[in-house]
Amino acid sequence: MASLMVVGVLAGCSGGGGGSSTGAANANSSNCTNKIKNKSAPVVTLWAWYPNTEKVVDNFNNAHTDVQVCWTNAGAGGAEYDKFQTAVSAGKGAPDVVMLEADRIPTYQVQDALVDLKKLGYADVKDNFSEGAWKDVSVGDGVYGAPIDGGPMGMIYRKDIFDKYGITSPPKTWDEYAADAQKVKDAGGPLFGDFPANQPAYVTALLYNNGAQPFTYNTANKGTIGIDLNSAESKKVLDYWQGLVSKGLVGKQDQFTPEYISGVIGGKYATYLSAAWAPGYLQGAGVGKGADAGVWATAPLPQWDPSNPISVNWGGSAFSVTKQAKDPKLAAKVAFGVYADDASLKDGWENQIIFPLNVNVLKDPAFINAEVKFFNGQQANKEVYVPAANAYHGMTYTPIGQYYYSAFTKQIAAINDGSKTGSQAADALQADVVKYAKEQGFTVK
Amino acid sequence: MTTATARRVAAGADTQKPRGRGRTVSARQNAIGWLFVGPFGLIFLTLLVLPIGYALYLSLFQKSLIGGTRFVGLGNYAKAFTDPSFLSGVSFVISFSLVLIPLQMAVSLAIALMLDILVSRFARFSRLMIFLPYAIPTVIGALMWGFLYSENFGPLADIFGAFGKPAPDFLSSSLIFYGLLNVVTWQWAGYYMVILYAALQGIDPTLYEAARIDGASQWQIIFRIKIPLVAPALVLILVFALIGTLQFFNEPKILQPLAAGAIPNDFTPNMYAYQQAFSLANSNYGSAISFALAAVVFVCVYIFMFATRKRGNILS
């Protein structure tokens, strides 16, 4: 998938012209990545980057005669968003259904690019998802995506490295995490973790983990936004990581890059703080297949206050119907139907590609008790991810997320190159994002 | 040029032929001239003038997520020239040009002079090899260097490790300047070398003969004859390189995901324009940044042309 991302970036460079040809695929099924089974049925176009999308789309197409999905991989994450944004600005070229991470939905909703699904089949599947799952894909009263997967976070670690340096139980608090990192370093061991500038959503989750509430956004009052990025909680987290970085205890490598993955495989990092979908991604990139097979384990994310733990989420996506969809009803049927059948969900969670939000799966003993091969038979869902998902209270996403992430990346890079302390970075970030929000016409509280 | 020729021919016709007939001939020839220019003119208008005009039009409006689009006149330009992101990008590309261009010129000129003197199969082979990086697409070249610089994949760690030293990380924020410098020089020196080599081949060899008879050494020939005579080509290269470097985009954009945070989205003005237009849904400000950059390029090229007005006559 890392190589996919690079390709995605390249495709992004080659210009906006590429986007429109995909949109025109509505009538022409030869542009699809997948094979259309029922050629006479109307076609709905879909952009998605799940590693098993092809299988999922085939499952859907085989089961439907009234509609067929034409799937394109328009890049993962940012690469897709740039293309989708261009299509939204241009007013054409967008697919009928688009995969969006939940934190991006308000950005497109405020531009009037997404269709409210409340009257387009929401009622039929309402009970399949928790209230929190629906909240993450809603803006105000409207539902702007069909929830698919979430990213409850845990601490993936190398059992072999922990054993070698005498760490008998995984750190439960951030103080223990720092102490263990120091211990490993003093013994000449590898880095303990990583602080990536290119994953601001991950660092945002770490801020929430200390009880920070960076944003408030009430859609009843669409033009008002609350921004509190330099709270004491945020500063504490950023100063903590700046400390780890400056002492050389953790790396400062960007993630989802060949460089980082090769480091992970090579045992350069003792822990990988990440979400439930990480093993699927790591295995796709070749982790856990060679000399590092069977060395991985997972534990709950460290906490600031163990008596008052805060569960956080990183990533997780939904299928949204775009305003450019020719037949929104049919598109909504696809959005709610793709990746909703048992076979696809099973393929997703068995390979840790997704952490499903569908409650029928979450309650399924087979899912809860699954012994995950990547974690050497550990019951990862039962021990780590299901409790984390159940304790997750949601985050607040805003329409200025895109800019916020870009500004945050800059500040994390400044922390990493030693030019700013965590607190200074938080103050600079606050000033930067407030300025942007005002420019964009928001009233900032 | 075509129109100029047509007019000259027409003017010639005017003096020879009686007035009435002359006008029809001239009109017909004019029409034929336009016909020849037509295809080019059409493409020029639709693919260059029209998009530029539209971008200029866009740049006069301000678009915000709340409140929509409104006319602000030159407001976006005022904002660009006080925007620290844009200004830091401009100062980066200017300082990059100041280091890159002399280096690139020196390298390509040295190689061209060397290949001009050597006449052997090896020289021809070297010429091809030195030109080769230019034939490799920028994207591939930049990716390749990204991996060569890489700590885990590249050879640097091994080479420096052999001497017990830590390898320099050309993708870190402190050394990215030199990392990019190397990529661009590698990619373009061969191309400029070919231009200079062609210019050197165009010099009349009797000049060298005369110089040698007068007792000039090889170095004197180089500095007194060859370099002055290829000066116009040097000026041309400089202008190309200056414009290209101020619009720096491909290499940093491709190395961005490999260079852990060292290349922010506002690294160069063009990258910043890209971010505004394609990530932040603000093609208006993106257009304004592009035009502001064009103004900077114009000023820089003008300063340079003014400074070299006596030597470089190829562009004037």
B253 in A contact zone (CB under 8 Å): yes
Q: How far is B280 from chain A (nearest CA, A)?
A: 7
- Between chains, do A417 and B173 touch, taking CB under 8 Å as contact? yes
Q: What is d(CA A35, CA A47) in angstroms, rounded to the nearest whole number?
A: 15
Listed range (A14-28, A150-164, B45-59) with the worst mean pLDDT: A14-28
Q: Which CATH number covers residue A259? A: 3.40.190.10
Q: What is d(CA B30, CA B10) in angstroms, rounded to the nearest whole number?
A: 8
pLDDT of the residue at B21:
55
Does one domain contain both A113 and A23? yes
pLDDT of the residue at A299:
95
Does one domain contain both A296 and A224? yes
Q: Tell me whether residue B193 is in a domain.
A: yes
- Specify whether the CB–CB gap between A284 and A1 falls below 8 A: yes
pLDDT of the residue at A9:
34
CB contacts of B280 in chain A (<8 Å) are 85, 402-403, 406
Residue A250's DSSP bridge partners are A193
Listed range (A21-25, B13-17, B43-47, B111-115) with the worst mean pLDDT: A21-25
- Between chains, do A111 and B281 touch, taking CB under 8 Å as contact? yes
Residue A273's DSSP bridge partners are A155
Q: Tell me whether residue B66 is in a domain.
A: no
ipTM exceeds 0.90: no
Q: Which residues contact B84 (CB under 8 A, 6 or more apart)?
A: none
Does one domain contain both A194 and A341? no
Residue A181's DSSP bridge partners are none
CB contacts of A400 in chain B (<8 Å) are 65
pLDDT of the residue at B311:
55
Does one domain contain both B186 and B244? yes
Q: Tell me whether residue B70 is in a domain.
A: no
Query: What is the DSSP track for A314-347?
Result: ---EEEEEBTT-S-HHHHHHHHHHTT-SHHHHHH
Q: Tell me whether residue A362 is in a domain.
A: no
CB contacts of A110 in chain B (<8 Å) are 65-66
Q: What is d(CA A272, CA B204) in angstroms, rounded to the nearest whole number?
A: 68
H or E element at residue A71: strand A68-72
pLDDT, greater one: A392 or A47 = A47
- Burial (CB < 10 A; 0-12, 13-18, 19+), residue B202, is exposed
* pLDDT tens string B282-308: 889 999 999 999 999 999 888 888 887
- Rounding to the nearest 10 degrees, give the CA dihedral for residues B127, B129, B133, B135: 80
Q: What is d(CA A366, CA A356) in angstroms, rounded to the nearest whole number?
A: 13
Q: Which domain holds residue B36?
A: 2-58
The predicted model gives A119-146 an average pLDDT of 89
Q: What is d(CA A376, CA A166) in angstroms, rounded to the nearest whole number?
A: 20
* pLDDT tens string A184-232: 999 999 999 999 999 999 999 999 999 999 999 877 766 889 999 999 9
Q: Is residue B17 pLDDT above 50, yes or no?
A: no
Q: Is residue B14 pLDDT above 60, yes or no?
A: no
Q: Are strands A250-251 and A193-194 parallel, antiparallel or unpaired?
A: parallel
Q: Tell me whether residue B314 is in a domain.
A: no
Q: Which residues contact A185 (CB under 8 A, 6 or more apart)?
A: A192, A247, A248, A249
- Whole-number Cα distances in Å, A199 to A113, A203, B204: 25, 7, 61
Does one domain contain both A60 and A101? yes
- Whole-number Cα distances in Å, B94 to B253, B293, B299: 18, 11, 12
- Between chains, do A259 and B153 touch, taking CB under 8 Å as contact? yes
Which of B143, B173, B258 lies closest to A257 in CB terms? B258
Of the pLDDT bands very low, low, confident and very high (cuts 50, 70, 90), residue B19 is low
CA-CA-CA-CA torsion sign (A400, A406, A408, A411): negative
Of the pLDDT bands very low, low, confident and very high (cuts 50, 70, 90), residue A30 is low
Which of A82, A88, A254 lies closest to B261 in CB terms? A254
B88 in A contact zone (CB under 8 Å): no
Select the residue from A1, A429, A440 to test the B interface by mutation, using most B Cβ atoms within 10 A: A440
Does one domain contain both B182 and B269? yes
Q: What is d(CA A152, CA B182) in angstroms, rounded to the nearest whole number?
A: 43
Of the pLDDT bands very low, low, confident and very high (cuts 50, 70, 90), residue A438 is very high
Does one domain contain both B47 and B83? no
Q: Tell me whether residue B280 is in a domain.
A: yes
Q: What is d(CA B147, CA B48) in angstroms, rounded to the nearest whole number?
A: 36
- Between chains, do A409 and B264 touch, taking CB under 8 Å as contact? yes
Does one domain contain both B267 and B299? yes
Which residue on chain B is closest to A81 by alpha carbon?
B279
Listed range (B54-63, B140-149, B253-262) with the worst mean pLDDT: B253-262
pLDDT of the residue at A24:
37
Q: Which CATH number covers residue B181? A: 1.10.3720.10
- Burial (CB < 10 A; 0-12, 13-18, 19+), residue A267, is middle
* SS3 state at B246: helix
Q: Which residues contact A208 (CB under 8 A, 6 or more apart)?
A: A214, A310, A312, A395
* pLDDT tens string B79-105: 899 988 999 999 999 999 999 999 999
pLDDT of the residue at A81:
92
Q: Which of B261, B256, B262 is nearest to B274 (CA)?
A: B256
CB contacts of A13 in chain B (<8 Å) are 139, 250, 253-254
CA-CA-CA-CA torsion sign (B114, B117, B123, B129): positive
Q: Tell me whether residue A268 is in a domain.
A: yes
Q: Tell me whether residue A386 is in a domain.
A: no
Half-sphere exposure of A425 (CA within 13 A, CB side): 28
Does one domain contain both B33 and B112? no
- Between chains, do A111 and B280 touch, taking CB under 8 Å as contact? no
- Whole-number Cα distances in Å, A247 to A182, A218, A273: 9, 41, 19
Q: How far is B93 from chain A (nearest CA, A)?
A: 19
Does one domain contain both A142 and A249? no
Does one domain contain both A54 and A176? no
- Between chains, do A402 and B151 touch, taking CB under 8 Å as contact? no
- Whole-number Cα distances in Å, B19 to A32, B15, B16: 67, 8, 9
B84 in A contact zone (CB under 8 Å): no
pLDDT of the residue at A445:
81
- Specify whether the CB–CB gap between A349 and A361 falls below 8 A: yes
B143 in A contact zone (CB under 8 Å): yes
Does one domain contain both A216 and A238? yes
State both tokens at B13. 């016709």
Does one domain contain both B168 and B299? yes
pLDDT of the residue at B88:
93
Q: Tell me whether residue A373 is in a domain.
A: no
* pLDDT tens string A363-407: 999 999 999 888 988 999 999 999 998 888 888 899 999 899 999
Does one domain contain both B108 and B48? no
Q: How far is A88 from chain B (nearest CA, A)?
A: 8
Does one domain contain both A268 and A412? yes
A284 phi and psi angles, rounded to 5 deg: -60, -30
- Between chains, do A259 and B139 touch, taking CB under 8 Å as contact? no
Residue B70's DSSP bridge partners are B62
State both tokens at B315. 């562009």
Q: Tell me whether residue B183 is in a domain.
A: yes
Which of A259, A406, A441 lies closest to B65 in CB terms? A441
Does one domain contain both B31 and B99? no
Q: Is residue A12 pLDDT above 60, yes or no?
A: no
Q: What is d(CA B145, CA B143) in angstroms, rounded to the nearest whole number?
A: 5
Does one domain contain both B41 and B132? no
**Helices assigned H by DSSP within chain B:** 2-16, 19-44, 50-58, 75-80, 84-117, 121-135, 138-149, 156-162, 176-201, 205-213, 218-221, 227-246, 250-255, 269-274, 283-307
A230 in B contact zone (CB under 8 Å): no
H or E element at residue A429: helix A422-439
Select the residue from B279, B282, B285, B287 to test the A interface by mutation, using most A Cβ atoms within 10 A: B279
Does one domain contain both A189 and A86? no
The predicted model gives A339-343 an average pLDDT of 90
Which residue type sits at B283?
S
Q: Is residue A26 pLDDT above 50, yes or no?
A: no
Q: Tell me whether residue A374 is in a domain.
A: no
Q: What is d(CA A88, CA A108) in angstroms, rounded to the nearest whole number?
A: 8
State both tokens at A131. 């209230």
The predicted model gives B268-286 an average pLDDT of 90
Q: Tell me whether residue A389 is in a domain.
A: no
- The chain-wide mean pLDDT, for chain A, equals 87
A281 in B contact zone (CB under 8 Å): no
Q: Tell me whether residue A402 is in a domain.
A: yes
Which of A10, A13, A85 lies closest to B281 in CB terms? A85
Which of A223, A409, A410 lies closest to B66 in CB terms? A223
Does one domain contain both B92 and B217? yes
- Burial (CB < 10 A; 0-12, 13-18, 19+), residue B213, is exposed
Which of B151, B257, B281 lies closest to A254 in CB terms? B257
Terminal-to-terminal C-alpha distance of chain A = 39
Does one domain contain both A202 and A285? yes
Does one domain contain both B34 and B163? no
Report DSSP state, residue B45.
Answer: I
Total domains in the fold of chain A: 2
* pLDDT tens string A64-116: 999 999 999 998 888 899 899 999 988 899 999 999 999 999 999 988 899 99
Q: Tell me whether residue A278 is in a domain.
A: yes
B153 in A contact zone (CB under 8 Å): yes
Q: Tell me whether residue B144 is in a domain.
A: yes
Total domains in the fold of chain B: 2
Percent of chain B with pLDDT over 90: 40
Residue A215's DSSP bridge partners are A227
Does one domain contain both A173 and A138? no
Q: What is d(CA A32, CA A15) in angstroms, rounded to the nearest whole number?
A: 20
pLDDT of the residue at A222:
67
pLDDT of the residue at A35:
86
Q: Count other Cβ atoms within 10 Å, centred on residue A392.
A: 21
Does one domain contain both B93 and B235? yes
Select the residue from B64, B65, B156, B174 to test the A interface by mutation, using most A Cβ atoms within 10 A: B65
pLDDT of the residue at B152:
81
Does one domain contain both A322 and A404? no
Q: What is d(CA B304, CA A167) in angstroms, rounded to the nearest whole number?
A: 64
The predicted model gives B158-171 an average pLDDT of 84
H or E element at residue A227: strand A224-227
Q: Which domain holds residue A106?
A: 2-147+318-353
